[in-house]
Structure 1
């Protein structure tokens, strides 16, 4: 390419980066004049270009304006200062020359008393999460023997015209649905308010947003970040409504009333699909992007965005919400004349399908609905590990169905009995005894005395002393390994938080006897016990899952096949318990088997029912108080009181 404007007797001098006022400006490929014999010295335009760019970069806008002609210097300084605000920029870097030009092309081209200089602008768009780099061009004129930058808005961007400003437009896609096992949305429309501002109408943006942040205490005191909100408002198109908050009513009625009194805020009533129709502790909630929540979900979400704040909504935030499309535009004050300068396409949201079955969920909710205590219930399909229902009653938003830590009591006898069948070679007809009191290793166990009986009958009669004394036939590590065969204490590879259980290795005979009866530090969740019931029914423990397509990408443990002979004996024991024993009250059909038990630990009592009804459903109920869990099982199995 031919070099334009190069005088005879000039040469190209490579220059190193020049630092000024704490900022660095890279100057490359610059053509400057040097004296040759008989030649007249000419002042170079480079110092004016350099000083202007460095001053702009480091934020010394007055100094940059002093390098210009053609406009009021205060207006120039103000225009340069507003670039960062209008883009909510985290940083701005300037360099002489452009990467698209080759080394043989002049970066400053002079023609008499006029010159053009090319430079590059690199902007980190901060909260908008995108880098932006583009070529710039400025015109210079020699005035009184000195080179000056001829001011024009096009210096900021070549397409920016007088009367225009830069703005950032974020187009947020519609959030995708969380669906049930049949692909139907599990969210229902509820009343809410969209709360936001018209940026150009705010008399004092900082004051309005500071009041918004102070008034907004959500979920234990979380607040919006006023400073980051201000950056977002300043970069938004001034004439368009900018939503900053969505609040569900009536839950946030008091906050809505307070915000309605804040000058500059606009509140619009809407109906939005943001509330779970069931299993809210698992499905999760939506809420505003407070400062601490943004640390969890990260860019490109911004203060005030509606994001997932718990459950699946939070865990699958990026998939459900996608990412916004970000556009940098030049526009006039009306916003009608808008030209796109750069855009970054976002990712489209994708629906998340769960394994939750509305029918089973409704029955589980019905079973727990009238209890005066906190309670949880999980239903799984034995042949697959699918979680069909997760119900929590009175748990203050906690998903104790998955994450509760409870002593299992004699429901753990399912595991202990299988260990006796597989390791000690006992069977359901093995003769044993059920004394009223038994001391093993310094620990005493009591129950109603039954005398001599079979293992199946002792199990059905809740004979704690029977299992405690039979523990002598097993070693401690073997008992822990058997529990692991039922998934207790293992990593399930589940895509949502869950407590898989804990079984301490017994240090002595007393500890081993305690573990046999579900005491001695043994802890489980309702989900882990529902899986135990499923394994007893199916003959194979399978890892649970609640997100259908996502589960395919998760490293879950393989199914654990239990010895077939042990399962035959275990099924007979559980059937005896349901027909003649502690689970007799739940026997609404011939397929129902299970165990009802009462567990105590640390001053609290947990009422359990753990069982199954054929291969369609295995379930576990845990109630934090003393209740008849057989009745609860009937309510679930029949759907009637």
Structure 2
């Protein structure tokens, strides 16, 4: 999910503009046009009002102060210049009148040597909230024959009193939970530090935040945006602790130690619910909002906020985090006598419920634990398509259970057998041969020779040459279509990233034979094959889902009903494979069906292999893929025993 650049550049006097908005800082043209219509007497207050508002808007605060009377002009210039910083504003626009009427009489009312002028202030609060528009009022008097603005803080806002400042208060809602299928949270609390500042206690805010941004580097050099941090600190109430980022322990202990040298930073030890309880590659992790991450998640999140950085935590960031309630207040420097001037209600966070079942997840994690190679496993419910467990071991944080791309080897024989049964008139008892070598087109396939027997027996014995020969019974498009009916290479409408598989239509007989045995350009993920096993068990391929009650951006395909006679034969073949063939080591219960296989492939310049087990027991179907030579039936048995 890509977002536009949210960086800013500074305008005169601290007013900044964000490039992500179409709102531009209005220059003098529109303001002048609105103020110079009509016929005014030579001694009108209009020129003084016009000059003051134009100078304030474009950031020429000294010139604006030159049109005032009542206090020291530098005090006026300083007060006007602080408005943008105190609100961390992206832009400020001023116009004469309140927008209620276009009558010039209502804009400026003169009474002898005194006058009242009504105007409108429009401030874009950027990441702090929606644009804020409110009416303003200034009083003028004639001094030495010239009209001057009588300075008062109420010109900035009618409720602002002497000695007060504006501030932005952001109330972050508690992040919602990601839960398992029973409604229990998949996120656990761990020790952490809330690192922040008391804005009013910083001797040099810019220095503090520049040092923080320099020291705080995450995941390959990701940094915090120092300029936006500075805007956030300047706009916050000076007397309140402002958390800027949350750092996990012990993962960030070294960074915490370095940050202790940054002047003004405070550290509060907390127990924060930020670590995934299991399936971390799917559930995802939380981390600080660095500059590039903010481009992904967009407003209204701020630098340093704890946001989702991977998995469901990132994909469902806005739903899980909601949006903050933002309040603009007037208060004195101590924080007393605070008055709310405007507020924007945020959106409440919502839980995200997954289909993960902790019982199956524990069994899957335990079955893969201790393997010397990267390994992944997916468990699905054939009757519904629910994903019950997603386990990754040694995959470096990537969800290869969903996104791995491997050749399926002879586990693809499930697809080939279903095609032969439904389209070529075969069944499990059809007599076949299993020679030690067979050449189809330009490709040669070899295995240990077996005597003539039934298709079920040759399939159980992993006879690659049997399937290669039988490729002549199917045309290329039929085979590709059968794979598509089992969801391979199709759009599933899943709410998280997944590789659905790739089955290019064979260009010749050799490629078609290679496809039959799961070689060539055929690639699948463990989730792809778990769904194939589920279809073989249920008789219907159903699209997977792992999130409940989440609106889909892409519609899921309808279930695909397979031919009952073909499925009946396929079950007998897979049962034979589990009882007497490649999968027999996994048969801890009589209703297990499945197939094991080893597939070789090249990864760049390296020769690699992937060990597979694909099968089902009752209303559970699963696939295991291990990037090395291992006994996958034993892993499957460990899973089934729990």
What TM-score do the two structures reach when normalised by structure 2? Answer: 0.94
- Aligned residues of 2:420 and 2:474 also touching (Cα < 8 A): yes
What's 1:610 paired with?
Answer: 614
Q: Does residue 632 of structure 1 match 2:635?
A: yes
What's 1:287 paired with?
Answer: 287
Tell me the CA shift for residue 389 of structure 1: 0.3
Structure 1 residues 132 and 20, CA, compared in 2 at 3 Å: closer, same or farther? closer
Q: Does residue 622 of structure 1 match 2:625?
A: yes
Distance in 1, matches of 2:261 and 2:627, equals 44
What's 1:302 paired with?
Answer: 302
What's 1:314 paired with?
Answer: 314
Structure 1 stretch displaced more, 287-296 or 563-572: 287-296
Provide the aligned length of Structure 1 versus Structure 2: 613
- Aligned residues of 2:493 and 2:553 also touching (Cα < 8 A): no
What's 1:239 paired with?
Answer: 239
Render the CA deviation track for 1:249-274: whole Å, top value 9, x for unaligned. Answer: 11111111111221111111110111
What's 2:6 paired with?
Answer: none
Structure 1 residues 473 and 271, CA, compared in 2 at 3 Å: closer, same or farther? same
Distance in 2, matches of 1:205 and 1:477, equals 67
Tell me the CA shift for residue 157 of structure 1: 0.3
What's 1:10 paired with?
Answer: none
- Aligned residues of 2:276 and 2:284 also touching (Cα < 8 A): yes
Tell me the CA shift for residue 335 of structure 1: 0.4
SS in 1 for 2:93: strand
What's 2:345 paired with?
Answer: 345
What's 2:381 paired with?
Answer: 381
- Aligned residues of 2:446 and 2:464 also touching (Cα < 8 A): yes
Kindly report which structure 2 residues correspond to 1:497-508, keeping only aligned pairs within 5 A, or say none.
497-508=497-508
SS in 2 for 1:106: helix
CA RMSD across the alignment: 1.4
Kindly report which structure 2 residues correspond to 1:551-630, keeping only aligned pairs within 5 A, or say none.
555-602=555-602, 603-615=607-619, 617-630=620-633
Unaligned runs of 5+ in 2: 1-25
What's 1:187 paired with?
Answer: 187
Distance in 1, matches of 2:437 and 2:552, equals 50
Distance in 1, matches of 2:260 and 2:354, equals 38
Kindly report which structure 2 residues correspond to 1:315-334, keeping only aligned pairs within 5 A, or say none.
315-334=315-334
Distance in 1, matches of 2:29 and 2:584, equals 81
Render the CA deviation track for 1:46-94: whole Å, top value 9, x for unaligned. Answer: 0000000000000000000000000111111010001000011110000
SS in 2 for 1:391: strand
| Bigger Rg, structure 1 or 2 | 1
Distance in 2, matches of 1:233 and 1:253, equals 25
Structure 1 residues 20 and 547, CA, compared in 2 at 3 Å: closer, same or farther? closer
Tell me the CA shift for residue 554 of structure 1: 5.5
Kindly report which structure 2 residues correspond to 1:147-158, keeping only aligned pairs within 5 A, or say none.
147-158=147-158
Structure 1 residues 520 and 75, CA, compared in 2 at 3 Å: closer, same or farther? same
Structure 1 residues 33 and 104, CA, compared in 2 at 3 Å: closer, same or farther? closer
Distance in 1, matches of 2:133 and 2:161, equals 19
Kindly report which structure 2 residues correspond to 1:247-286, keeping only aligned pairs within 5 A, or say none.
247-286=247-286
SS in 1 for 2:550: helix
Kindly report which structure 2 residues correspond to 1:37-436, keeping only aligned pairs within 5 A, or say none.
42-101=42-101, 103=103, 105-436=105-436
SS in 1 for 2:396: coil
- Aligned residues of 1:31 and 1:108 also touching (Cα < 8 A): no
What's 2:510 paired with?
Answer: 510
SS in 1 for 2:218: coil
Render the CA deviation track for 1:513-564: whole Å, top value 9, x for unaligned. Answer: 0000000110000001000000000000000000011167861100000000
- Aligned residues of 2:493 and 2:552 also touching (Cα < 8 A): no
- Aligned residues of 2:167 and 2:235 also touching (Cα < 8 A): yes
- Aligned residues of 2:205 and 2:230 also touching (Cα < 8 A): yes
Unaligned runs of 5+ in 1: 1-18, 35-41
Structure 1 residues 20 and 180, CA, compared in 2 at 3 Å: closer, same or farther? closer
Tell me the CA shift for residue 101 of structure 1: 3.6
